[in-house]
């Protein structure tokens, strides 16, 4: 079958027609990809070998598709057995042979695969998995906020959370999820994204281009100086988070937490707050039992929130067709010209 392969770190990606179709285990599903997304992690893996367990490897992890074959005990996170023809989406294992999304058929671990709700489309689903799982890990594991019950959502708490990079894919899901959890949300973004972020629930927006002192001043004014929780959705704000916590230390009682998608650099030294990295990379792997258990719980909640229309799906742009179209779409994503719009490829026709 066809797929995109990379021979070694830093090598050019190539179209291959000689990949073997993998066989699902008892607790896995074999999926025919319909739409796949391009994410920054794909380039990190290609260029530096991050998370890659064997070479050559096939990139891609954010995907939607249709079940071709299901293992006998392949049960989804809501407790329903998968069957042939089911529409699914989510994040595949990263860097493992047979699991990557940039090939025509691939494996997914049933307990961390999303059954697609009927009220979203396959391309919307392909733009969702990695972003929403990362947001949930940051909020409910990193910031220690109790996981919400979709049937009994909490009342507003009046407490503030700051999201760095609210216009990013992860950031938009973080803003929405925090609102569902009852929190007030301040977020940094460009001025052109102010209205978008407010439309999905942000209570306050701050221009990320402002000097550090002005960012802190605005946040202090908005929150009354009480800001115990910070989520960095763009992996670039360890120093700024430390400065904010230091500036607001006297007016923020109790425990303080900082979580970031940057799990590749040292966390800021904890001075009155607890830093927690967001680590989605080992998803599905047998040695990541605790992570997989968390993700299974999160997926069951996320599906119900999507069905209840509590989470808006991200904007996307289809930039290629077929496996052959992935390389061109990858160039578009790397160029950054589409901003936070998710770059997709229609791998196969429905």
> Of 250, 277, 304, which closes a domain?
277
Cβ-contact 239, 173 below 8 angstroms: no
pLDDT of residue 337: 94
Q: What share of the chain is helix, strand, coil (3-state, %, to 5)?
A: 30, 25, 45
Confidence of residue 89 (pLDDT cuts 50, 70, 90): very high
Same domain, 202 and 93: no
Q: Tell me whether residue 282 is in a domain.
A: no
What is the rounded average pLDDT of the residues 57-72?
98
Q: HSE of 284 in the Cβ direction (CA atoms, 13 Å)?
A: 26
The predicted-structure confidence for 93-123, as pLDDT tens digits, reads as follows: 999 999 999 999 999 999 999 999 999 999 9
Same domain, 233 and 217: yes
pLDDT of residue 273: 95
Q: Tell me whether residue 285 is in a domain.
A: no
- Number of H helices and E strands in the chain, helices first, is 9, 15
How many other CB atoms are found less than 10 A from the CB of residue 350? 10
The predicted-structure confidence for 302-337, as pLDDT tens digits, reads as follows: 999 999 999 999 999 999 999 999 999 999 999 999
pLDDT of residue 336: 93
Q: Tell me whether residue 42 is in a domain.
A: yes
Same domain, 222 and 254: yes
Cβ-contact 41, 47 below 8 angstroms: no
pLDDT of residue 202: 98
> Of 229, 259, 277, which closes a domain?
277
Confidence of residue 148 (pLDDT cuts 50, 70, 90): very high
The predicted-structure confidence for 227-268, as pLDDT tens digits, reads as follows: 999 999 999 999 999 999 999 999 999 999 999 999 888 888
- The chain-wide mean pLDDT, for the chain, equals 96
Same domain, 241 and 124: no
Which domain does 57 fall in, by range?
A: 3-128+313-346
The answer, as to whether pTM is greater than 0.75, is yes
CATH code of the domain in which 185 resides: 3.40.50.720
Range list of β-strands (E), the chain = 3-5, 14-16, 28-38, 62-70, 87-91, 105-109, 114-115, 160-164, 184-189, 204-207, 229-232, 257-260, 274-277, 316-321, 342-346
Q: Is pLDDT of 193 > 90?
A: yes
From 143, 90, 60, select the one nearest 296 (Cα to Cα). Answer: 90
Same domain, 70 and 144: no
Q: Is pLDDT of 349 > 90?
A: no
Q: Is pLDDT of 270 > 90?
A: no
Q: Is pLDDT of 350 > 90?
A: no
């Amino acid at each position: 079958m066809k797929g995109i392969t990379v021979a070694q770190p830093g090598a050019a990606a190539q179209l291959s027609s000689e990949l073997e179709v993998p066989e699902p285990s008892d607790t896995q599903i074999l999926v025919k990809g319909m739409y796949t997304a391009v994410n920054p992690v794909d380039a990190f893996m290609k260029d530096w070998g991050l998370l890659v367990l064997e070479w050559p490897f096939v990139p891609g992890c954010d995907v939607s598709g249709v079940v071709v074959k299901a293992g006998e005990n392949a049960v989804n996170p809501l407790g329903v057995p998968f069957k042939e023809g089911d529409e699914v989406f989510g994040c595949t294992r990263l860097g493992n042979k047979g699991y990557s999304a940039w090939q025509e058929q691939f494996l997914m671990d049933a307990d961390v695969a999303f059954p697609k709700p009927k009220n979203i489309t396959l391309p919307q689903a392909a733009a969702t998995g990695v972003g929403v799982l990362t947001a949930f890990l940051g909020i409910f594991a990193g910031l220690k906020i109790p996981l919400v019950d979709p049937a009994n959502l909490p009342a507003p708490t009046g407490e503030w959370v700051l999201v760095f990079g609210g216009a990013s894919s992860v950031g938009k899901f973080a803003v929405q999820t925090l609102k569902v959890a009852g929190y007030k949300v301040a977020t940094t973004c460009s001025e052109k994204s102010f209205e978008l972020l407010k439309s999905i629930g942000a209570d306050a927006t701050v221009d990320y281009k402002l000097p550090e002192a002005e960012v802190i001043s605005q946040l202090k004014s908005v929150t009354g100086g009480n800001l115990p929780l910070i989520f960095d959705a763009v992996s670039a704000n360890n120093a700024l988070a430390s400065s904010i916590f230091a500036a607001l230390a006297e007016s923020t009682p109790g425990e303080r937490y900082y979580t970031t998608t940057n799990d590749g650099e040292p966390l800021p030294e904890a001075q009155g707050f607890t830093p927690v990295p967001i680590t989605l990379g080992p998803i599905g792997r047998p040695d990541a039992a605790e992570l997989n258990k968390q993700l299974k719980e999160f997926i069951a909640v996320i599906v119900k929130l999507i069905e209840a229309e509590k989470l808006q799906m991200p904007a996307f742009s289809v930039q290629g067709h077929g496996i052959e179209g992935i390389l061109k779409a990858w160039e578009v994503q790397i160029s950054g010209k589409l901003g936070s719009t998710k770059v997709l490829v229609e791998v196969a026709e429905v």
